[in-house]
Structure 1
Amino acid sequence: MGQTFTGLLRAVRARTGQGGTARPAPTAALRLCGDYLAGLAASGPLDDVRRTRLVSAIGDLTTATGTDGPFDALLRTGQRALETGGEAETRLALDLAVEATGLRPRSKGAWRLRGGALDALGRRAEAVQAYEQHLALQQNPAAAEEIARRTATLKDLRACLDEAAGLLPGEDGARLRALHDAPAGQARTVFAEVVRARSAGAGGTADPAVRRLVTLYAAHRRLLDRDRMADPLLGGAEPVGVTGLRRLVTGRSVCLVAGAARVTDEERDPGSPLGKLIDGYDLVVRCDTLPAGSPRTDLHAVTLRGDTPWTGPAWHRKAGTRLVFGDPLPHWRRSLRARLVAGAQDHIGDASLRRPLDDPALLGEDGWGPRTSTAFTLLRLLDFLDAADRLDLIGFGLPGQLPPREHAWVTARATHQDETEMRTALR
């Protein structure tokens, strides 16, 4: 990696005219990236996966050509810098975003990146302005939900501090107002100190103003940790655990339908025997992306992937019960808050169902690993519960629907296979 890194640094400097050779007009983005790489090279070996991805993105930026290539590469590099999470990387992300918004003032992605970088640096008032620029340019309401929710959260944080400061004359009120653009850790510490001091003072918590201050502190602390939800109860959706899932499938016929295009096309055909076959089951189960116009989904399962799974698309298609598999727990919780849609499900799997294969309280099986397919994770869970009267797979005999090891597991336990119906029976 050392030679590659050194070569990249030379390439960046050459592109910006820092290598002693005349080059086309330098860009601020490449100068910024060159400065960052120089600092990174001086800090020692590169062994962080996220920084490695950032360095790779910088490499792509140095070679980007075409009408939109350099600008798209600029945004990707800024996003990689923001995802890396260090202070130097976050400041790089902001610098790149500032250049991007200067180059294209009507770029939704550039304003979103700028807002995210300012937000991460604790510059919340400026972040709100950048996010609002993004929202003004965004034509797709669904795509804007996350930013709209974050913008509302930042405004709520400010409102909490403003009201709390209004309760406290003098120095304490000024200290709280100064937290508008303070890092989250500092905001937590200072606000807590003010609350403790006021609670221990004359009147204590018997004072209505102190009780209100404590309420505002609790709200502010929650909002620092996670964004406000438009509907925290998700339209009345109820959590379901292992016992509830077993109760859902007990004594019923269950089919797990593959997402293959052939299966979807046949199912959509009104006269298709496959559509009638699927509709005859008590529970129709699907995984991951639900095809548009699916006739019915009683149970939907998805697996969280990537470093920031909460940034994925919302689960807006209707399902009776939705299970979300993922680890670690904070990522799972944040993803549910960000991606669940009120009214899109009647039940949602709780934390006891988020990693059934390696959870010792359930299967506790070693060796499957984090890349296990969603379909197999759910199939193995249903097989373990051993409550369904009938458990069939539809379309999973087609090539590519299951990895070889998972396919071998299914084949070894199949009690019947019908190629005409694309059906594999496990019981």
Structure 2
Amino acid sequence: MTKARTRWPRQRDAEAPTASGETVAADRVDAVDLETCLSACAAHSTKLVASLDRRRVALAEALRNLLATRAATAPATSGMSPLPLLRRPAKASSGSALPLGEALIDPLLAVGNKALDCGYEDETKLALMVADTVLTQRKRSRAGWRLRARVLEAMGAESAAVAAFERYLEFTEEDGFGVAAKVAGLREGARLQAALVQRLADGCPEAREYAGRSVTDSWARGLELHARGALDEARPLLLGALLGQIGAGAPVHEIQQTVTHYLGLLREEAGVAGGGSAPTAGPGDPAALAELTALTTLYAEQRRARMRGPVDDPTFGGVQWLTLGEFRNRIAGKSLCLIANSQRVGDSSLGKEIDDYDLVVRFNSYRIDPAATGRRTDIHVSIHKHGFNWDQQVDTRLIFGGISGDWKHSLRNRLVPGAQTYLGDESLRWPVRDIGRLGRDVWPSIPTSGFNMLWLLDFLDVSPRLDLIGFDFYESGAYRLPAAMRMPITSVHEYTSEKAWVMERARSVTDTRIRLR
């Protein structure tokens, strides 16, 4: 029996309705005024009441914060009622549009990101509306273009997503999110998919006859014939449906579903495991199996390219992996200083003193000003979510991350071959949680990169001198790369608890230095 599909390919127009309700090309920003977007957010918040989905709960909190910020900065006009999400109100005069001020931009973008995280159609449309609202007033907004690109990618509008990602890259100096690799991966995935489809079409010329017909009808008829064993009659219909999808500009994920199912049917016909049901015949001839292997390889490569981008050097320049024990041996007996990304360091003249330590540890998007910060970086510690300074040459790089799969994905996408000699392996991925076994009952907040590293060094206890330079827990403000300076200091960490932990172990404290050993 043929495995049933819960969702058959659908006939689609090349253009799709946007959050405003109008039909426009996916790569064109739909102008949305702030008042319309805020009204849509207010209306959407009522749909999330009592939701048990944690992603929607997070979105509801972001919406409450946005609406509260709006009320605090400019109280809404009395009598104004919320507008439905996909309904466009009457256009206001050009001079009456609400300005998108600094107080609203971050809460609004937070709503867009949380809406996108939900993964549902209504929330995806809301995220697109937020992105378009930001770009209507701030056409050079990096965060706006990146959000729009991610939304379009989630919607399956891959070419439009690539265009939006490229706009983001035009306006940024530091590609901390690995967008260039993402764009390269999407382009390579599209190229490999086109090669796969072309190879399928070349093997069945009759399929082009059905490309202009109803996608759903062709697919349904093809499955029916395949179930009866009429394979030669089924193949042109099934491939014709796939070609029709592509011609109509169907979302990438729907095309992927169709290709996956079709290759599964081919594997079933060939008697190869993984077709989804029992083989209809014994193993096929070697030529057919070789062709199926080539098709499967193309399919796997295009999926892999879209997930992580092309990897020119899988060994990353011959990097040497460090285990926990090997890292301990490399730092044993050496003096260490950890340099905070704080304005207190940027305003100092400690550069010479910093460079006199045996090992200098810096974090995430650190910034070098030799007189203030010193020149050397021996160990770079970074959270896996950003790629700031990953291209800078260091002896050792430790990348932290709470989820193993995401951590591995980031290493594959962002690590620069030859930029490090040693790289921490998974035993060093998340020290506070994995080595210290400090669960959320003991340490509820997400530990910062700095605290993870500091806890690790304190745990190993092999350094005769361990100093923290400029650690005021952002009381003096941040001192980071210009691109990172535009990012807010995150609220997911509990700096007060980390400061208390440090002060309990401090042997001496000055304005710029905390000595733990």
Q: How far off its partner does 1:240 sit?
A: 1.9
1:241 aligns with 2:323: yes
Measured after TM superposition, the shift of residue 163 of structure 1 is: 1.0
Q: What is the aligned partner in structure 1 of residue 192 from structure 2?
A: 160
Task: Provide the residue aligned with 1:292 in structure 2.
Answer: 368
Question: 1:151 corresponds to which residue?
Answer: 183
What's the counterpart of residue 10 of structure 1? none
Question: What is the RMSD computed on CA atoms of the aligned residues?
Answer: 4.0
**Structure 2 residue aligned with 1:190:** 258
Instruction: Give the TM-score, by structure 2 length.
Output: 0.61
1:41 aligns with 2:46: yes
Q: Label 1:36 to 1:109 Cα distance change in 2 as closer, same or farther (>3 A).
A: closer
Q: Which structure's relative contact order is higher, taking Cα pairs within 8 Å and 6+ residues apart?
A: 2
1:321 to 367, 387, 396: 396
Q: 1:257 to 1:250 in 2, by over 3 A?
A: same
Q: Describe the SS at the equivalent of 1:290.
A: coil
2-structure distance, mates of 1:182, 1:125: 10
Counterpart selection for 1:332 from 401, 407, 430: 407
CA distance in 2, matches of 1:74, 1:373: 22
Q: Is the alpha carbon distance of 1:266 and 1:216 closer, same or farther for their aligned partners in structure 2, counting shifts above 3 Å?
A: same
**Match of residue 142, structure 1, among 163, 174, 189:** 174
Counterpart for residue 95 of structure 1 = 129
* Deviates most, 343-352 or 200-209: 200-209
Distance of 1:145 and 1:216 partners within structure 2: 27
User: CA deviation digits over 1:318-346, x for unaligned, max 9?
Assistant: 32212122212233334444554444322
Say which SS state the counterpart of residue 115 (structure 1) adopts.
Answer: helix
Matched, 1:212 2:294: yes
Distance verdict in 2 for CA 1:370–1:317, change over 3 Å: farther
Q: What's the TM-score once normalised by structure 1's chain length?
A: 0.72
Cα displacement string for residues 289-330 of structure 1 (whole angstroms, at most 9, x for unaligned residues)? 4231332121122346xxxx34x7453443221212221223
For the 8 Å contact 1:298–1:320, the answer to whether it is kept is yes
In the alignment, which residue of structure 2 is the partner of 1:222? 304
SS in 2 for 1:291: coil
Please state how far the C-alpha of 1:203 moved relative to its aligned partner. 2.8
Partner Cα separation in structure 2 for residue 60 and residue 313 of structure 1: 31
Over 3 Å counting, the alpha-carbon distance change for 1:197 and 1:363 in structure 2 is same
State the 1:145 CA deviation: 7.4
The 3-state SS of whatever aligns with 1:300 is strand
- The aligned length equals 379
Distance 1:205 1:409 in 2: 71
Q: Distance in 2 between matches of 1:159 and 1:53?
A: 38
Give the one of 498, 501, 504 matched to 1:406: 501
Q: Deviations over 1:17-45 (max 9, x none)?
A: xxxxxxxxx96553455345435424532
Counterpart amino acid of residue 188 in structure 2 = D
2:366 and 2:389 in contact (8 A); partners too: no
How do 1:14-163 residues align onto structure 2 when only pairs under 5 Å count? 29-31=34-36, 33-35=38-40, 37-42=42-47, 44-45=49-50, 48-57=57-66, 60=69, 69=101, 72=105, 76=109, 78-98=112-132, 110-135=144-169, 138-143=170-175, 146-163=178-195
Which whole-Å CA distance do the structure 2 matches of 1:103 and 1:419 have between them?
Answer: 46
Tell me, which stretches of 5 or more residues in structure 2 are unaligned?
Answer: 1-30, 75-96, 208-235, 271-283, 476-494
